[in-house]
A and B are shown apart, each in its own frame.
Chain A
């Protein structure tokens, strides 16, 4: 119930291509869905986040698509660049729980030049 399932585990995309990472959740009490980007040796950093009252949020080359009925959400990275190579975590939390963040298992993204 508290899990967030993420796929794929790893992803290789050519420069300029679209990177797509998918996540699914069970607990309908989740009301905040952030994506984190983590570079080696660094802590996770918030990339973009969405709440379930909207179906899409776009910030630059990064877009979250959210399907409330299917309990799924995904991250799309347009025009992927080598600097986007990192591990990406989807996550979920409930405002009622002091913002404990439940992380997905992570996707290691490599962008080939």
Chain B
């Protein structure tokens, strides 16, 4: 069964460093998303991406964040200068259309020290 994959599973970084979280969406999907979940809290929407453009972003997704689809398979989330409060589980998701089920990856746990 096709699935969304994410790498790395755990990333530890120092405050102020740049991190790139990687996702490989399901191959025939066209819509891509990033969500985050701070430990013990709810899952929060960050950004949606379609046709090489951001469709929508939340207030969390400020200038420190960017997304990119550098090739036909990867979808990345970059945090330019990490802060302690960026520590969270980051989930990538993809869907075939904007009304289809979103399939979530297993997540990347980001720890900012």
What is A's interface to B at a CB cutoff of 8 Å?
32, 34, 36, 41-46, 49, 89, 95, 97-106
Contact = CB atoms under 8 A, between A and B. Distances in A.
Contacts of B43: 36, 44, 89, 101, 103, 106
B99 to A, nearest CB: 5
Contacts of B55: 98
Contacts of B103: 46
B42 A98 contact: no
Contacts, number: 60
Contact of B104 (A45, A49, A99, A106): A45
Q: Is the interface of B mostly helix, strand, loop or mixed?
A: strand
Nearest to B45: A100
A100 B31 CA distance: 11
A103 B56 contact: no
B106 A98 contact: no
Contacts of B48: 98-100
A105 B40 CA distance: 9
Given A43-B91, A106-B42, A98 B50 contact: yes
B56 A100 contact: yes
A11 B45 CA distance: 25
User: Which of B31, B41, B43 has the most chain A CB atoms inside 10 A of its CB?
Assistant: B43
Contacts of A49: 101
Nearest to A105: B42
24 contacts: A41-B107, A42-B106, A42-B107, A43-B4, A43-B104, A43-B106, A45-B104, A46-B101, A46-B102, A89-B43, A95-B98, A98-B50, A99-B33, A99-B95, A99-B98, A99-B99, A99-B100, A100-B48, A100-B56, A100-B58, A101-B35, A104-B42, A105-B41, A106-B42
User: Which of A42, A49, A95, A104 has the most chain B CB atoms inside 10 A of its CB?
Assistant: A42
